[in-house]
Amino acid sequence: MLEKGRISPLELSVLAILYTIGTTILAIPSVLTAKAGQDAWLTALIGVIFSGLLSCFYVICAKAMKRETYINYLERVYGKIIGKIIGVLYVYFAFVGAATLLFQFSDFVTTHMLINTPAEVLNIMLAILVILVVRAGLEVLARTGELLFPWFMFLFIALVIFLIPQIEPDRISPLYEASVRAHLSASLDFVSFAGFPLVMFLMFYPGNMNRPDKTKWNFITGTTLGAAVVGVLVLLCILVLGAPATARQVFPSYVLAKTVSLFDIIQRIEAVMAGMWVLSIFFKTAVYFYGCVIGLAEILAVKNYRFLVIPIGLLTIVFSTFVYPNVSYMAYWDDKYWVPYSMIMGFFIPLLTLIVDKIKSRLSNQI
């Protein structure tokens, strides 16, 4: 195993929460309300349940892997050649995930905060932080999350409390107008951002846990809580902004924070939302990037993955500048291709691998 570091069940929970929230916290409310209208809160609830069930599935996969990493597991199940080919697909999945997050980070910041700042500069700034933490190792990444998580929750709870006076319950009615098809489509969008990418955790879970037998409920709870945070923000967007206004915004959660006005003293705390999002996207990018580097190192069968960090980091920065031609194409790609792509990588391939592993185990026991 290339990574010698070990993380605790609590650190796994924190990483799962922050990773699940990731980019979902800003963009997903508009996606859900565009399809399900004011019933998007119900779609988010369905998405939370699906994400929780998906985390249970990953726990089953982790149990079958024992102390192996996912790349090693693929090679054991399919053989060296096919296993490495599938492993390359996951390395590319992680690479694209990290690059797209850099793009979304710079797009958000240049649109709403630092308008005249070149996107390339922002990509480099975030990438440097990610490169440093991944090069330092999994333990450093996990302990950084454990250190910053209380601040994230403090900002989230403060935002919810400050938004309570702005809530208008009438905005959520009429109830249950969205069709079953709309709920299913929107909930798949939710899971494609909050659930399927969790397959990246198999790169170090359970192999790098200091107590692998105690991590099951930590992972499931962390994933469900992270999805629930997004669900709460979807509900708040509908109750405060209304479904039509939420659907029209690219980043409705950021606009939501602008509506805060408490006694005409505490106002426009959108920096709170921006801070929450930057924290979560940093950890999601770092996990993606770590999965890319560690996966490639195992495919190449090298003894140390750290010499790959800087070269792949530079490639990620370059790729992030043209991964999407523009924001409109990003929305189109996410709507048409991201859901099936993430579902194949995050569910169908792991499910097929698990089935093949079980069949091979039974056949070997019979012989």
Q: What are 226-273's pLDDT values in tens digits?
A: 999 999 989 988 988 888 888 888 788 787 777 776 666 666 667 777
**Residue 305: what are its φ and ψ, rounded to 5°?**
-85, -15
- pLDDT for 262: 64
Q: Give residue for tokens 């790729």.
A: 319
Mean pLDDT of 199-224: 87
Q: What is the CATH number of domain 9-350?
A: 1.10.4160.10
Rounded to the nearest 10 degrees, what angle do helices 119-136 and 309-320 cross at?
160
**Contact residues for 266 (Cβ-Cβ < 8 A; gap 6+):** 162, 260
Going by pLDDT thresholds of 50, 70 and 90, the confidence category of residue 190 is very high
What pLDDT score was predicted for residue 227?
Answer: 92
Domain ranges, ordered by start, for the chain: 9-350
- Name the residue type at position 1: M
Nearest to 84 by CA among 361, 293, 297: 297
> What is the tens place of the pLDDT at every residue in 5-57?
788 889 999 999 999 988 788 778 888 898 888 888 899 999 999 999 999 99
pLDDT at 1 over 70: no
262 three-class SS: strand
Specify whether the CB–CB gap between 290 and 138 falls below 8 A: yes
Q: Which helix (H) or strand (E) holds 241?
A: none
pLDDT of residue 101: 92
Instruction: State the pLDDT at residue 85.
Output: 93
Average pLDDT, the chain: 87
